Structure 1
């Protein structure tokens, strides 16, 4: 059986999927599910989108991989398209969100070593945050349940309370080389950063010459209604970590820097064998074209409002929803009930949703989801809510 040869790192549902179309996904028995997990905010254009299929077919017949010892046509196009849509000037390509975070941490450490300050190597990170599973990313993840079995982690880190300006100021000094923040904590429970907190982080980074890093792996790439999440908060970071939606299902990540941060790396400081490969980059270009040029992002605010209006009615009708959280199509429902049981109930009714943080259920539909499919998913969700015991 499959489970006997696949490493035991996930608590998987008893289902095997084999194909998908739009926001629908089908198991090996032909059963149809509505997918409001989207690969955990990855499948921003849904399943089997023609633009992604065409990009894969076209580019794979030309060149799949060469090496970063040479330029290739698609990674330069993708890099230019990214910087044209933000306030930054350089891109490093990798393959995942964790890798993009590791890159950002190395940039900040290197930036610190270039300053005339002894031991300028400290990272500040947030309580309840999540940045990835590698040792470096775990070291700045503010959840003990992920860290406890893998200590010792890297040193030179300080945890502060999310949205607590006083705690942030107390921990900031000349030794800090970087601070990493999710504008919206995804896995932590759809917790939104206060504008004032982000503004203070920006001013402290300027004061102490440190780098402000935004982890937009889950909340970026259009999910909030702008291509980059930071644009919803009017605070410009020095470094942006992206992945997930950038490839629409194809593995790709990137770390984007402004002029200040771009000076840190020189040849030999960092690398990624598959980062910026022609195939992945071609898919990224196709995804950005759909999101930006073909108007997918433009429709997100309207869809978000529709979902929240329906959820509010469900909240008022039943005594199960405590709070509706989030922005754009990164929406959380805090329940007065067990989220694990609720997610399984939705699964049994052929709706895929995923839990996060403290009793929160995430809704992560494709960004191009139709109103009809939204209503179909929320109809199922309401039935599940009506059957949930508080």
Structure 2
């Protein structure tokens, strides 16, 4: 007989485990995965590349809790911060877990928008946070609603958002709006966590995001621009915050071998050239899905055309029963969708349509199959 599971383990039972293998065997619009076709377009360096400046003996070894020093220095220069404002993590997911561990006790409040990235909702839920989701306007979170929440709740610890091509809505939030959010949060002693994993993938122009510092904590990752299998992310924040996160790490540091690959990509400029190709590639896919949606009857025509990122956020057509539609898509056509209510309680009439992973032929097939369901 096994002992009783922990509260965190019990809470985790409400979330399905991530299954990439399952995603490969269906037309899955729910997962925002990079296109594997583009992995071969990147000039991958030798993992034991000796030209990076990292000693050969340091590569198979443990490394610092803060991460490989040479990579931290390179990232600090890239983002205009000091080395002591950078910590490497096992992808953006570990960054979120560390931040949750550093700020949240059971019953504490995390604020975010409705809808919100599923992975963040999962992470904060499992540590016992009370997640309150706020309405959005065209610019981002509703500032009046945010201030009302901050005035009326004393246990708010964090506000989490994805301002650069918001997941799942695809909205781009201006630096001006996010500066107002940060200032309001700072007045109440609350941290702003900006998840910027899509920030390198604007399809028109550039993105100007709010820099780290003060109460602003930024999360980045190579998952969307190189490969999620590398499992390398980083947090940029004030040095005291970085030190707090480092003390919560229980591993032997992010793999120096993998970190050396990322370092070599940055030093050679290969990653920046690759990002330019990715922008063109994903913009073309976005345009294809947008064209198909213009002639689709299963969703309403009023949606935001994302200017970056991996997905559309669409409202299902009036008269469609969401759960019935999603189940029929899965059972009859092997098309996988995620009910919008999983992203937030106000979002039950929406679905996320990710275009990044699927080849064009499957995007077209998937939309056609969803169209037949609406017709019946």
Report the TM-score range of the alignment, normalised by the length of the smaller protein: 0.5 to 0.7
Residue 295 of structure 1 and its aligned partner are, at CA, apart by 1.9
Q: Counterparts in 2 of 1:74-89, with a 5 A limit?
A: 75-89=68-82
- Whether 1:264 aligns to 2:241 is yes
2:62 — aligned with what?
Answer: 67
How many residues in Structure 1 have an aligned counterpart in Structure 2?
323
**Which among 204, 211, 227 is matched to residue 236 of structure 1?**
211
The verdict on how the C-alpha distance between 1:160 and 1:190 changes in structure 2, with shifts beyond 3 A counting, is closer
Residue 108 of structure 1 and its aligned partner are, at CA, apart by 5.6
2:345 — aligned with what?
Answer: none
Residue 248 of structure 1 and its aligned partner are, at CA, apart by 0.6
CA distance in 1, matches of 2:225, 2:287: 29
CA distance in 2, matches of 1:179, 1:192: 17
- Whether 1:138 aligns to 2:124 is yes
Structure 1: gaps spanning 5 or more residues: 1-6, 18-24, 28-32, 110-120, 140-149, 367-372
Q: Is the 8 A contact 1:131 1:138 kept in 2?
A: no
The verdict on how the C-alpha distance between 1:50 and 1:12 changes in structure 2, with shifts beyond 3 A counting, is closer
Structure 2: gaps spanning 5 or more residues: 1-12, 51-55, 341-348
Deviations 1:65-115 (A, max 9, x none): 42235998xx23432333333354322222243320132345567xxxxxx
1:389 — aligned with what?
Answer: 374
- Whether 1:211 aligns to 2:204 is no
CA distance in 2, matches of 1:193, 1:93: 26
**Which among 224, 231, 239 is matched to residue 252 of structure 1?**
231
1:124 — aligned with what?
Answer: 111
Residue 269 of structure 1 and its aligned partner are, at CA, apart by 2.8
Residue 214 of structure 1 and its aligned partner are, at CA, apart by 0.6
Measured on the aligned residues, the alpha-carbon RMSD in Å equals 4.6
TM-score, normalised relative to structure 1: 0.62
More strand, by proportion: 1
1:311 — aligned with what?
Answer: 289
TM-score, normalised relative to structure 2: 0.64
Q: Counterparts in 2 of 1:83-232, with a 5 A limit?
A: 83-89=76-82, 90-105=85-100, 123-130=110-117, 132=119, 137-139=123-125, 153-154=128-129, 159-162=133-136, 163-172=141-150, 177-183=157-163, 184-186=165-167, 189-190=168-169, 192=171, 194-195=173-174, 197-208=177-188, 210-217=190-197, 219-220=198-199, 222-225=200-203, 232=207
